[in-house]
Chains A and B, each alone.
Chain A
């Protein structure tokens, strides 16, 4: 803990000796008092729910004894295991597609000269990124559903029947296409600040030294942006892994995903009891912890690049 704290504050260390008042303020009691509201809030509404889930997932719901039985049931029942496979694959696919398209689009936004246009696109992205859930599912049903506008349009104008060609909005790939809708704008929103951190001076310096556009990207810009991009993709992964409403409204529980199984547990569906629900949630937390660890490692590398 101490070591990591030193590491994070390290970039700002050279500035410290010059500022006269940084030392006397120190870590006094009043400094800590400023943190109390936020910490208390996080404890009550963020940390405790997670603690309860982990505790309950390790306890037998009838007898109250410590057990790993709940997790064992997640692994041994193929339906549950399959749900995890589906959720992970879906998240990987949409994080990649959203990440690549989103980054390139974000670079397009970053290059726009007109300020109003950039502002417009940022607010449009922030709406689209959260145009998830039920409205998004309905929008895609209206667009690419069996009687959707685009489906019908393609059929009447080009005589192409999407559903005969094997496309189906209500299966895995349909869901992936739908998820990408909120992944791309999220990627744009998240990478824009990183792109604004690219200083024009660097490009000019590279050009002065004879670097081509491609060399500048390969040797300067991408290495600096790399941690931001990976971090953003991990964020997309987590975002899609935890998504529930879109899948629920689109496929009505026909796609086997972990979030859908957990909702069955909360709503008291007979096939899944609270103990299994807690273990499924615990399993989600474990998978997401991996993504989040990678995310925070990458964030740390960003802070060594852009830290002052």
Chain B
């Protein structure tokens, strides 16, 4: 009696695996791919069937290569900076200063309360005006950074810093969640008892265990920066999305092919990062271990 019931439940669950969630997943995938396919078709069909002439025009435009490489550099710099700045900090706080967590939580929430457009407005006001309150609060760093020789007003370095802030909630959430899903304390203790120092523990024990979280954090930062329009337009820095907007407003077919191009380029970059990460020895087992927790 007991066994047949268990079997029945097991069968029901196996059947549920092909149930409503799969239907919704397929619907969502359709919703997510239809605009991409339509854009592809719209961009590459002229009055006489398939027409790749818009691509040729785009590739021969020197603004295209210039803005694209600038955006790639900004994206790479922001990704590296955010992961390098945030990961050790969260680990450090979990291990040594657990009481500081609320402060970190609040700092990671501020970008929600002040989105890109507000942040851009604020950054322009901070670094282009001279405000006594700000000068004092920043310990004299704002006057240093907003005047020569380190004038960072409306420059790519300031843009990178702003991007790191915009991506902070996602990076923090993702890395914090994966750090909490492993037993940091026990792992560190074990590593210390085997004679490892803090950095070695961090790099060889903690990092491999939270790699999935870092991957998703890096992916989010990277793709955010590649498509970010608000900050660069308010800072008047000529990045790829700005070029896209300018060109696209003139010619809808060019706009479509540029959208597809930007999607494909982000896709390639993201897959490249993904493959690079996956090739690390012993990686597979650790991802599964973390996922199984």
Contact partner of B180 (CB less than 8 A), chosen from A40, A185, A190, A308, is A308
Please tell me if B200 contacts chain A, counting CB pairs below 8 Å.
no
Please tell me if A196 contacts chain B, counting CB pairs below 8 Å.
yes
Q: Would you give 9 A-B contacts (Cβ < 8 Å), ordered by A?
A: A133-B241, A135-B262, A139-B259, A149-B39, A184-B32, A207-B6, A262-B121, A281-B121, A296-B105
Report the separation of the CA atoms of residues A102 and B32 in the bound assembly, to the nearest whole angstrom.
11
In the complex, are the beta carbons of B244 and A12 less than 8 A apart?
no
Among the stretches A25-33, A70-78, A160-168, A218-226, the one at the interface with B is A25-33
Question: Could you say which interface size class chain B belongs to?
Answer: 35 or more
Residue interface mask B161-183, A partner, CB < 8 A = 1: 11011001100011001101101
Hey, which bits of chain B sit against chain A, CB under 8 A? 5-6, 9-10, 12-13, 16-17, 20-22, 24-29, 31-32, 34-36, 38-39, 41-43, 85-86, 88-89, 92-93, 96-102, 105, 107, 109-126, 131, 133-134, 137-138, 141-142, 145, 158, 161-162, 164-165, 168-169, 173-174, 177-178, 180-181, 183, 185, 189, 192, 216, 219-220, 223-224, 226-230, 233-234, 241, 244-245, 248, 252, 255-256, 258-260, 262-263, 266-267, 270-271, 274, 288, 291, 293
Report the separation of the CA atoms of residues A259 and B118 in the bound assembly, to the nearest whole angstrom.
8
In the complex, are the beta carbons of A126 and B125 less than 8 A apart?
no
Given A138-B244, A142-B38, 12 additional A-B pairs, CB 8 A: A38-B85, A48-B142, A50-B114, A102-B28, A105-B27, A123-B270, A127-B270, A134-B244, A181-B35, A235-B112, A291-B112, A308-B180
Q: With a CB–CB cut-off of 8 A, which chain A residues contact B36?
A: 139
| Chain A nearest CB, measured from B199 CB (Å) | 11
Residue interface mask A232-254, B partner, CB < 8 A = 1: 00010010011111001100000
Q: Contacts A31-B96, A249-B245; is A265 near B121 (CB within 8 Å)?
A: yes
In the complex, are the beta carbons of A132 and B39 less than 8 A apart?
no
Q: With a CB–CB cut-off of 8 A, which chain A residues contact B41?
A: 149
Report the separation of the CA atoms of residues A132 and B266 in the bound assembly, to the nearest whole angstrom.
12
Interface residues of A in 77-115 (CB under 8 A from B): 101-102, 104-105, 107-109, 111, 115
Q: With a CB–CB cut-off of 8 A, which chain A residues contact B112?
A: 235, 238, 242, 288, 291-292, 295
Q: Contacts A143-B35, A285-B114; is A127 near B168 (CB within 8 Å)?
A: no
In the complex, are the beta carbons of A263 and B117 less than 8 A apart?
yes
Question: Could you say which interface size class chain A belongs to?
Answer: 35 or more
Q: With a CB–CB cut-off of 8 A, which chain B residues contact A31?
A: 92, 96-97
Please tell me if A158 contacts chain B, counting CB pairs below 8 Å.
no
Q: With a CB–CB cut-off of 8 A, which chain A residues contact B138?
A: 43-44, 48
Specify the chain A residue showing the minimal Cβ separation from B36. A139
In the complex, are the beta carbons of A35 and B116 less than 8 A apart?
no
Q: With a CB–CB cut-off of 8 A, which chain B residues contact A66?
A: none
Report the separation of the CA atoms of residues A40 and B241 in the bound assembly, to the nearest whole angstrom.
30
Contact partner of B22 (CB less than 8 A), chosen from A111, A124, A208, is A111
Contact partner of A193 (CB less than 8 A), chosen from B5, B97, B177, is B177
Specify the chain B residue showing the minimal Cβ separation from A25. B96
Report the separation of the CA atoms of residues A285 and B245 in the bound assembly, to the nearest whole angstrom.
28
